[in-house]
Amino acid sequence: MTANPSFMSGVPELLVLRLLQDREMYGYEIVAAVAAATGQVVAPKEGVIYPLLHDLEKEGLLRAQRRPAGGRTRVYYTLTSKGVRRLFDLTDDWTRMTRAIQHVLKGPSHAV
């Protein structure tokens, strides 16, 4: 019953960090932004994003500030320097990983 395709481990974290690199955002906004940025290919719901944001904040990768906006209270998140470093590391892992798999999927002759 997986709504998202099955290659999801660590992907929400990676995307959230990447989007917050461009600009601060609040949780509800991030949910929509992830889906929009990936063309609905990856679309984790609030039940995934909110706990993730809390964890990332607890780890010191994000800074949260609740701030009134448009009559409501929103919680805006920004990347910390630690968060930037994590983003770089994850991006690196992601690239190495996908490259390796791509290579296997592509050709035979792995024995050479």
Partner DNA sequence: TCTGTATACCTATGTTCACTAGGTATCAAT
Partner DNA sequence: ATTGATACCTAGTGAACATAGGTATACAGA
**Site for DNA, rule CB under 7 A:** 1-4, 6, 8-13, 26-29, 44-48, 50-54, 69-75
Instruction: Yes or no: say if 33 and 15 are a contact pair by the CB < 8 Å rule.
Output: no
Q: Kindly state whether residue 39 participates in binding its own copies, applying the rule CB under 8 A.
A: yes
Q: Kindly state whether residue 33 participates in binding its own copies, applying the rule CB under 8 A.
A: yes
CA distance 100 to 36: 27
- Among positions 32, 41, 51, 66, the unique one binding its own copies when judged by CB under 8 A: 41
Among its own copies, DNA, none, what does residue 79 contact (CB within 5–8 Å per kind)?
none
Residue 66 vs 103, nearer CB to its own copies: 103
CA distance 76 to 29: 9
Residue 2 vs 81, nearer CB to its own copies: 2
Instruction: Yes or no: say if 49 and 16 are a contact pair by the CB < 8 Å rule.
Output: yes
Residue tagged 């990347």 (tokens): 79
CA distance 21 to 36: 16
Residue 38 vs 78, nearer CB to its own copies: 38
Question: How far apart are CB 57 and DNA at their closest, in Å?
Answer: 9
CA distance 17 to 23: 10
